[in-house]
Amino acid sequence: MPRSHSRKTRTPGHVGASVLVPKVTPKRFYGQGIPGVDSDSLTGKLIVVEGADGSGRSTQIARLVQWLEATGHHTIQVGLKRSTLVSEELEQAQQGNILSRTTLSLFYATDFADQLENTILPALRAGSMVIADRYIYTLMVRDLVRGVDETWIRNLYGIALAPDAVFYLEVRPDLLVQRVFAKNQSLDYWESGMDLGLSRDMFDSFLRYQALMRDTFRRLQQTYGFDIIDAERTPDEINHELQRRIEAVLSGRD
Ligand SMILES: Nc1ncnc2c1ncn2[C@@H]1O[C@H](COP(=O)(O)OP(=O)(O)OP(=O)(O)O)[C@@H](O)[C@H]1O
Ligand SMILES: [Mg+2]
């Protein structure tokens, strides 16, 4: 198995920049995975950034991509509802609020499976870094707070590849609400959990729903072991911590 080492690249007139070649570590699927995929061929790294709406995922990912590319790592980005196969239909289904809980879950799972098979796995096979703006955990947590059976959900996402690192950006709900308002001047029906009937007041519903989501994330953390990041700090402080942790992943120390 290749070992991590620094490759010195020299161009005339420049002092050599050091590129950390990621150490290849074994990958695994959570369950049965996707048939016919040889996980040993996946030499890239899958890094997931999780967190509520307004927790700062886009802010952090933009900086991480810039940093990774500048340090010589080809990087691609994926996220929920971005598959070409079903993203439009999923959006329409959400707007109309017409699908049952199970059908909506399967719709999201289809979107995920399409991206896994057609974007994430090929990129990892090519040795690229894949940065995911949310992954199966958000989907699982959304379903769990709506009473979907946990075993059923775990089986459904048995197709997923276990990432090399998962960072959950944690921000308390009252701070989240401020960030979301500052960015969008409004709250989103689904991200406020209005379908759950927690409160008729959207602001109140948002606070309750996001607290439920956070508690469920913390519970899943015990099974999936992701890193909980204090995302109430400045963007610079958070980014510094993420870079440090990703460096550890690249060098196989994590
Ligand atoms: N660490 C931070 N401290 C204060 N404000 C922040 C921080 N990080 C991001 N913000 C601000 O909070 C808002 C939401 O940030 P961002 O868009 O990065 O979050 P997001 O998690 O990607 O949200 P969405 O779910 O809408 O995609 C933006 O206005 C951003 O400038
Ligand atoms: Mg975003």
Delimit the domains of the chain by residue range.
Answer: 27-250
Name the residue of 179, 230, 232, 240 to mutate for ligand 1: max ligand atoms within 8 A of Cβ. 179
Taking the CA of residue 55 as reference, the ligand 1 atom at the shortest distance is 21
Contact residues for 50 (Cβ-Cβ < 8 A; gap 6+): 57, 134, 135, 137, 138, 166, 167, 168, 169, 217, 226
Q: Which amino acid is at 107?
A: F
Ligand 1 centre to CA of 222 (Å) is 26
Question: Which pTM value belongs to this model?
Answer: 0.90
DSSP 119: I
Nearest CA to ligand 1 atom 4: 234
Question: In angstroms, what is the span from residue 59 Cα to ligand 1's centroid?
Answer: 6
**What digits encode the pLDDT tens for the residues 180-220?**
999 899 999 989 999 899 999 999 999 999 999 999 999 99
Give me the tens of pLDDT residue by residue for the chain, a chain 254 residues long.
Answer: 444 444 444 433 334 456 678 888 889 999 999 888 998 999 999 999 999 999 999 999 999 999 999 999 999 999 987 777 777 777 777 776 667 788 888 988 999 999 999 999 999 999 999 999 999 999 999 999 999 999 999 999 999 999 999 999 999 999 999 999 998 999 999 899 998 999 999 999 999 999 999 999 999 999 999 999 999 999 999 999 999 999 999 998 77
Residue 174, both tokens: 């009252």
The domain 27-250 is classified under which CATH number: 3.40.50.300, 3.20.20.70, 1.10.287.370, 3.30.210.10? 3.40.50.300
Q: How far is the CA of 13 from the centre of ligand 1 (A)?
A: 40
- Name the residue with the closest Cα to ligand 1, atom 28: 183
Question: Which-ligand-closest: CA of 183?
Answer: 1
The answer, yes or no, to whether any atom of ligand 1 lies below 6 A from the CB of 188, is: no
- Which residue's alpha carbon is nearest to atom 23 within ligand 1? 54
CA–centroid distance, 179 to ligand 1, in Å, is 6
56 lines ligand 1 (CB under 6 A): yes
What torsion do the CA atoms of 121, 126, 129, 134 make, to the nearest 10 degrees? -10
Which one, of 244, 228, 227, lies nearest residue 236 by Cα?
244
Degrees, nearest 5: CA angle 28-29-30: 120
